[in-house]
């Protein structure tokens, strides 16, 4: 085998790519705008450009290219059916386009699955038997790894942990269902709930900051919490409590040894983790909890590219080291 892989993380705003060793270590990484407003052809050209930039003169030593994409996919055929947050990126045979362009085998995977696999390979879930991972960002993604194998599901829809119902008649989710994990634990909904509560007149530093012209984001809420704002802390703890119900459900179903929580929201850290742990402990069997670690992700925003590269090996059935 050649010594390198390339991992690509296709996002709505940026495309990340990295040259990765067969051991999962990043040699070089790049990040370029996806330029989605210029249309799907341009996005595809930028994906190829990111691969060129990351591999550079090592392109002849690249064994395979792995891509993590958002949206609905047919990974076995390497097709992006609908990338949702990239307008017009519909029915794109991305794997074959890349294979033809570079003459190197390529592989397509769900981006949340890639992030999960990275944490299993090189991050917080290393050597776990059964790992459940969440990516908490604008939405909530998930991934399940059992005995080193990614659970892709019957038709590539496994690991949709953000769309597990936790409140039967709860908040409307972006997917059209009510009461999903995502409708309580995503950045989008954190901002929405916080805004609604602020309008009701809750006392918070955020009120002052918004009056000063700041924009309400998950990051701003966490900043207020760090500055000692109790209301902001409460909002983040609520995210943890609801997320904890979803996590507890996966713990009862799969009895994992590790649950990894990652994504932008997890920059808030223990303020979310602690209520997750408390809620899980309350809801699962003692036997489930005593062998379980609930930990923050370790790889930050490198997870996407590392995991996209790693899943090339996983799909080929090659033992990882």
Residues within the interface to its own copies (CB under 8 A): 72, 129-130, 142, 144, 146, 151-161, 163-168, 175, 177, 245, 248-250, 252-257, 282-285, 287-288, 290-292
The smaller minimum CB distance to its own copies, of residues 46 and 135, is found at 135
**Shortest distance (Å) from residue 314 CB to its own copies:** 14
* Cross-strand pairs, 69: 110
C-alpha distance from residue 159 to each of 202, 262, 297 (Å): 36, 14, 17
**Shortest distance (Å) from residue 120 CB to its own copies:** 14
The smaller minimum CB distance to its own copies, of residues 13 and 155, is found at 155
The smaller minimum CB distance to its own copies, of residues 147 and 228, is found at 147
The smaller minimum CB distance to its own copies, of residues 168 and 201, is found at 168
**Shortest distance (Å) from residue 17 CB to its own copies:** 28
The smaller minimum CB distance to its own copies, of residues 214 and 285, is found at 285
Using an 8 Å Cβ cutoff, are 154 and 120 in contact?
no
Using an 8 Å Cβ cutoff, are 4 and 58 in contact?
yes
**Shortest distance (Å) from residue 24 CB to its own copies:** 23
Straight-line distance from the first to the last Cα atom of the chain, in angstroms, rounded to the nearest whole number: 14
Using an 8 Å Cβ cutoff, are 7 and 20 in contact?
yes
**Shortest distance (Å) from residue 7 CB to its own copies:** 24
């Amino acid at each position: 085998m050649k010594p390198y892989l390339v991992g690509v993380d296709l996002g709505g705003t940026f495309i990340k790519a990295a040259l990765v060793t067969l051991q999962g270590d990043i040699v070089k990484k790049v990040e370029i705008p996806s330029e989605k407003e210029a249309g799907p052809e341009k996005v595809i050209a930028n994906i190829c450009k990111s691969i060129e930039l990351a591999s550079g003169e090592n392109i002849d030593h690249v064994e395979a290219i792995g891509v993590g994409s958002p949206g609905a996919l047919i990974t076995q055929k390497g097709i992006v059916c609908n990338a949702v947050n990239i307008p017009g990126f519909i029915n794109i045979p991305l794997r074959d386009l890349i294979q033809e362009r570079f003459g190197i085998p390529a592989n397509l995977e769900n981006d949340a699955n890639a992030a999960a696999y990275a944490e299993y390979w090189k991050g917080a879930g290393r050597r776990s038997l059964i790992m459940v991972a969440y990516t908490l960002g604008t939405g909530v993604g998930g991934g399940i790894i059992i005995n080193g194998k990614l659970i892709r599901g019957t038709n590539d829809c496994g690991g949709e942990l953000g769309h597990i119902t936790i409140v039967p008649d709860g908040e409307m989710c972006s997917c059209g269902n009510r009461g999903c994990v995502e409708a309580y634990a995503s950045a989008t909904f954190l901002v929405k709930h916080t805004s609604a509560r602020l309008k009701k007149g809750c006392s918070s530093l955020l009120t002052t900051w918004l009056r000063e012209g700041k924009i309400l984001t998950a990051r701003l809420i966490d900043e207020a919490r760090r500055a000692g704002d109790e209301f902001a802390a409460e909002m983040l703890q609520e995210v943890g409590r609801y997320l904890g119900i979803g996590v507890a459900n996966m713990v009862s179903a799969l009895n994992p040894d590790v649950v990894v929580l990652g994504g932008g929201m997890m920059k808030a850290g223990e303020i979310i983790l602690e209520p997750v742990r408390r809620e899980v402990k309350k809801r699962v069997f003692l036997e489930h909890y005593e062998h379980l670690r609930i930990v923050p992700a370790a790889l930050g925003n490198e997870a996407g590219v590392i995991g996209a590269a790693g899943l090339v090996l996983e799909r080929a059935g090659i033992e990882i080291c």
